[in-house]
Amino acid sequence: MPPGQAKKNESKLEQLLAKSRCIYEFAVDGEWEKAVALESERKSLMDLYFSSQVVFEDTQAATRYIQEIIALDKKVIIMGKDAQKTLGGSLGDLQRGRQAAQAYQRVGS
């Protein structure tokens, strides 16, 4: 491995963690389009980064970064499922309202 490569790997892992934190913040704020766009970017970086064997200078720090990324991902997944349920309920209410309006128009005709 070239000198300094382990340090570069840690820097890349820090970038992935920073993106994970941003995704989490977008999810907290309900900005799902931004979260999904950044997740797509982050996934591409992860695929590229972990496509080969990665060596770290400080394995304990790397472990902490990866654990935090996983913890943030779990939180975002839970928030996403909750948002999906809420949206599904809202869409159901909208559909029922539309059906009621159509029924009312048919009766009134």
CATH number, domain containing residue 20: 1.20.58
Count of structural domains within the chain: 1
Domain that holds residue 12: 5-108
Sequence-distant (6+) residues with CB within 8 A of 66 are 13
pLDDT recorded at residue 15: 93
pLDDT recorded at residue 51: 81
pLDDT recorded at residue 53: 81
Q: List per-block mean pLDDT (blocks of 10 residues) for the chain, which spans 109 residues.
A: 70 92 96 93 89 84 93 94 74 62 62
* Distance of alpha carbon 106 from alpha carbon 67, whole angstroms: 58
SS (H, E, C) the chain: CCCCHHHHHHHHHHHHHHHHHHHHHHHHCCCHHHHHHHHHHHHHHHHHHCCCCCCCCCHHHHHHHHHHHHHHHHHHHHHHHHHHHHHHHHHHHHHHHHHHHHHHHHHHC
